[in-house]
Structure 1
Amino acid sequence: MIRRVLAVAVLATATLAVIPAAAQALPACPVGYLCNTQYFSDSARTNLVGVRTEFCDRSVSTWGRLSGYVTWSSSPCN
């Protein structure tokens, strides 16, 4: 029984390690908000490598590499 529990725990941990951190944590951009996601190559978030912006009209603009360490922000549309 203990071996099964440990096997399940190891499998769950391995699965989460394979899924990119950005995919695990990013919230959906709510309607009526502008959302900005910045991607950095380092954990100190000093080297910006990409950006994804979701505008108030629901259009999306991206540039650079959309993977790495993430900073996400939102602000209400006027």
Structure 2
Amino acid sequence: MPRRKLMLRRTFAMVAAAAGVATALVGPASPAQAIPVCKAGYQCTYIYYSSATFETVVGGRTRFCDGTTDSFGITTRWLELASAQCPEPL
């Protein structure tokens, strides 16, 4: 086998082994959780917390019935959704 081909094969093997070790050390990724969708005709408020204890609010976002939004703070992976049906237009 030519020297160049042997070097490429060894390099590829080392990269593949390093990737395998890195994956084993990090572990499998946890499944992503989808952000709840705000249904049409509802006002929705997303409340973001600092941790899984859901004790400290760090941010929030509201989508009002007229389509405008207001937000504060930061978003995190720990959130709750509160929604209320919009009134019928006059």
TM norm structure 2: 0.59
Q: Which runs of 5+ in 2 are unaligned?
A: 1-23
Give SS of 2:55's match: coil
Structure 1 runs, 4 residues or longer, greater than 4 Å off: none
Q: How many pairs were matched up? A: 61
Kindly report the root-mean-square deviation, in angstroms, between the aligned alpha carbons of the 2 structures.
Answer: 1.9
Distance 1:29 1:71 in 2: 12
Identify, as 1 or 2, the structure richer in strand: 1
Aligned partners of 2:30 and 2:79: how far apart in 1? 20
Aligned positions of 1:1-78 closer than 5 A: 13-14=28-29, 16=31, 19=32, 24-78=33-87
| More relative contact order, 1 or 2 (CA 8 Å, 6+ apart) | 1
Structure 1, unmatched stretches of 5+, are 1-9
Larger radius of gyration: 2
- Separation in 2, partners of 1:15, 1:46: 23
Shift of 1:70: 0.6
Identity of aligned residues (%): 33
